[in-house]
Chain A
């Protein structure tokens, strides 16, 4: 198996990969421009170590993240999805993340209800000054996803 998880892969093939073995999960992170993305930046500038498995997508605000984004990432083969915004009360747009929090509360519970592993889709708050927190968060998410193994549910089967 290659360094990164393959983009298109059949469920059976995935099952042969040993969870926690050589496999590197692919994680999509939606980060708000004002806090979490800056936090990720700070983590980089500070040379804090975290797994190289993350594809960061910068969004203007965590409230911009539609549950469809998360579904689309999973359908396209992401093994994990992280959404992170400013801490409640710190939103650049005053209340964006508070509205988002309601949406994410439901999203999180709903996906688990269908049978999507809770480790797959995670939400967090990281501020611009929390480079350390960001790298810890990423390592936590990567470890969680590694534990549950490659995504099978919701992955679209394409040639």
Chain B
């Protein structure tokens, strides 16, 4: 069974023995902060995207690596619980695929056991995006509102509103979802819960495909940045490196205040710190999210800092995403979710950076 339909009310029943994550509202936030929460009763269907990206589930902000008492280490057992994620937007699952690559043993020779263990025990159900927002540019980075990468199952809302429909009231009003299993793990989940699913009708599949195509057209219309990064990896590789010395960086980064909102809320940013915290001789070693935007990130103990100012740090963020990752990973480390744009206190916009360099990236391509 590769394609099947399920009623929205049955979604919580997909929860296995372990944890279940779905978009929800975190209590007490007047500004509609949405997080993937463990409470399956209140799944949120109407959301542009959740504020905190999916990486949080597999790469939590704080992870205990080990505990110690004086000089005796106690390893913290690797996570064993199974995880089902429902309702991640395809941009977030695409980001997950990129994190998979970084944390895999093939990347630079070592595995990251914490992340990998959680991923092994997880089934990720993406929910195709029918409601792209003004800051969405997934199509520019090689993804799309119904992208399949990184997900085990791609779900479509049947009867969701056409993007930009005159009447917003219809958004997500359908109570049936179409599931497309993309991996063996996805198929296994469908089979394990066979009683919840009905066979998909050809009409339903067509509806889903139409909605996906319409959403994609919508994103392209909203954000045509003059370049298709995903399609031009070779050009990127050749043309980003010389941009390191480009004089425009300082202008593009003048307004940066040096916080880490963009990187912490980025679904693909994975840099971390390792620190000990203890009382007397007893404590734990943790790893936490860290940000290349902080001066301390690269400062040597001697005081020397390879990246002393915010221009260099911001350039690092963009070069990592659009150049270094392409070289190391064969992919752009950006999925176009737009979180860094909306989260930035000074509205520093990654799209401006892409637009500014689009010509330089593309020139070779165009001349061919």
Contacts and interface: CB of A to CB of B under 8 A. Distances in A.
Q: Do A and B come from the same complex? A: yes
B315 interface: no
Interface string B312-335: 000000000000000000000000
A158 to B, nearest CB: 5
B49 to A, nearest CB: 32
Q: By DSSP majority rule, is chain A's interface helix, strand, loop, or mixed?
A: loop
Contacts of B69: 159
A158 B283 CA distance: 6
Contacts of B283: 158-159
Residue of A8, A76, A158 contacting most chain B CB atoms (<10 Å): A158
A131 interface: no
A156 B277 CA distance: 10
A7 interface: yes
A20 B282 CA distance: 29
A77 interface: yes
B77 to A, nearest CB: 14
A7 B280 contact: yes
Which bucket holds chain A's interface residue count?
Answer: under 10
Q: By DSSP majority rule, is chain B's interface helix, strand, loop, or mixed?
A: strand
Contact of B282 (A8, A77, A156): A8
Which bucket holds chain B's interface residue count?
Answer: under 10
14 contacts: A7-B279, A7-B280, A8-B279, A76-B279, A77-B279, A158-B277, A158-B278, A158-B279, A158-B282, A158-B284, A159-B67, A159-B69, A159-B282, A159-B283
A76 B284 CA distance: 15
A149 to B, nearest CB: 20
Interface in A69-85: 76-77
B309 to A, nearest CB: 28
Contacts of B279: 7-8, 76-77, 156, 158
A8 B278 CA distance: 10
Interface in A1-28: 7-8
A7 B86 CA distance: 42
Contacts of A158: 277-279, 282-284
Given A7-B280, A158-B283, A159-B67, 15 more contacts: A7-B279, A8-B282, A76-B279, A77-B279, A156-B277, A156-B279, A158-B277, A158-B278, A158-B279, A158-B282, A158-B284, A159-B69, A159-B282, A159-B283, A159-B284
Contacts of A7: 279-280
Residue of A77, A156, A158, A159 contacting most chain B CB atoms (<10 Å): A159
Nearest to A7: B279
Nearest to A76: B279
Interface in B258-284: 277-280, 282-284
Nearest to A159: B67
A156 B282 CA distance: 13
A10 to B, nearest CB: 13
Contacts of A76: 279
B70 to A, nearest CB: 12
Nearest to B64: A159
Interface in B47-91: 67, 69
A77 B280 CA distance: 12
Nearest to B67: A159
B179 to A, nearest CB: 41
A3 to B, nearest CB: 17
Contacts of B277: 156, 158
Contacts of A8: 279, 282
Interface in A102-159: 156, 158-159
Nearest to B280: A7
A76 B277 CA distance: 11
A77 B69 CA distance: 18
Nearest to B66: A159
B15 to A, nearest CB: 27
B94 to A, nearest CB: 36
Interface string B10-44: 00000000000000000000000000000000000
Contacts of A77: 279
Interface in B280-315: 280, 282-284
